[in-house]
Amino acid sequence: MRLYQKALLREMTATTGIALGVISAILLVIMSVRILGNAALGEITVSAVLPFITFAYLRFLHILLSLALFTGVLLTLSRYWQDSEMVIWSGAGLSPMGWIGPVLRFAIPITLIVAVLSLALMPWLSRQKTEYEDYLSARNDEAANLTPGIFAETQHGNRVYFVENIKDRGPDVRNVFIESEEQGRTGIVVASQGAVETMANGDRFLVLRDGRRYEGIPGQADYRVVNFARYGFRLDPVQITAQAARPKELDTLQLLSNPTPANQAEWAWRIGAPISALMLALFAIPISYFNPRVGRSFNILLAVLLFTLYVNIISLSQAWVGRGAMSAGTSVLLVHGVAFALLAATYWWRYGRALSRGRR
């Protein structure tokens, strides 16, 4: 490997790593604020915050890698132009096309990682997220409403709970108040302590100890008061209805074996991720050209516009495929074929004159 290739690969690796770290930090902050807001509103439990942040980050990891690759190549070559290193290498006889080889050598391994993430890891991750959400839904019964210091109503509205304190370890609760409606009679139960117990057959009960139950009809005086040493409420499990797997949860081979419009749209999005990553890395070579009269900000603005436009067109084509307006193969060939034609035109616009002079 030549000297300029080693230096270029080393700097692109460092710049891409820094870009990935910065972009990941920004995304994690945004996702954390959103998910913590949902937790504050009670939409998700506090214990689910970290898993949801992890799922959200891994979901966008292949896009982050593509953006970091594009940014790393662009910033590295822009610095070469700004510091006149490109002029020096050109004077030493290096053709403008000589930068394609080391950029491809750096971009292809990252593109393969993006392909594995998009084609294999993303569907598995979507299934794990769905299973975790179903698990949380199954826990969203009466036991989940035992929040210290808050009156909580069950989903069916037939019970109201109040718990003064919950032990840090174990399911034990202290100073429990429960109001329930059964057959037109109101029941109020107070107890000094309780615990959630699971029977041998899998049924779950909230078992209260050392308490008292008041039962009667509001407005009438015939209330019955019962002291008890042990009293159990059965916690009915939430029935989770089986749902068909969504396209994003299916393996890539399953999408190909069942070519419905929705499955084809998902396949077009997955295959587009590694293709766009490689194309953007190649786009970074001509875009990195630095003109002192224009300034470096023009290159950055053009790069942001290109990345946003490319990703949005891929998303738009996915919507077209999902509606049956075109096939997945047509979408991939059209979108990335036009991108390749634009890439070739950009190379000719930037380096065509230099190559023509070189042939002479």
3-state secondary structure the chain: CCHHHHHHHHHHHHHHHHHHHHHHHHHHHHHHHHHHHHHHCCCCCHHHHHHHHHHHHHHCHHHHHHHHHHHHHHHHHHHHHHCCHHHHHHHCCCCHHHHHHHHHHHHHHHHHHHHHHHHHHHHHHHHHHHHHHHHHHHCCCHHHHCCECCCEECCCCCEEEEEEEECCCCCCEEEEEEEEEECCEEEEEEEEEEEEEECCCCCEEEEEEEEEEEEECCCCCCCEEEEEEEEEEEECCCCCCCCCCCHHHCCHHHHHHCCCHHHHHHHHHHHHHHHHHHHHHHHHHHHCCCCCCCCHHHHHHHHHHHHHHHHHHHHHHHHHHHCCCCCHHHHHHHHHHHHHHHHHHHHHHHHHHHHHHHHC
pLDDT at 280: 94
Q: Is the pLDDT of residue 281 over 80?
A: yes
What's at 156, amino acid-wise?
H
In this predicted model, which residue has the larger pLDDT, 235 or 11? 11
pLDDT at 358 (0 to 100): 47
Distance of CA 166 to the CA centre of its chain: 33
pLDDT at position 15 = 93
Kindly report, residue by residue over 145-188, the tens digit of the pLDDT: 556 667 766 655 677 777 777 664 445 677 888 888 877 788 88
How confident is residue 68, by pLDDT bands cut at 50, 70 and 90? very high
- Does pLDDT of 29 surpass 90? yes
pTM over 0.85? The answer is no
Are 126 and 114 in contact by the 8 Å Cβ rule? The answer is no
Q: What confidence score (pLDDT) does residue 175 get?
A: 80
What was the pLDDT predicted at 210? 85
Is the pLDDT at 241 greater than 70? The verdict is no
For 242-271, the pLDDT digits (tens) are 456 788 888 888 888 888 999 999 999 999
How many CA within 13 A on the CB side of residue 63?
18
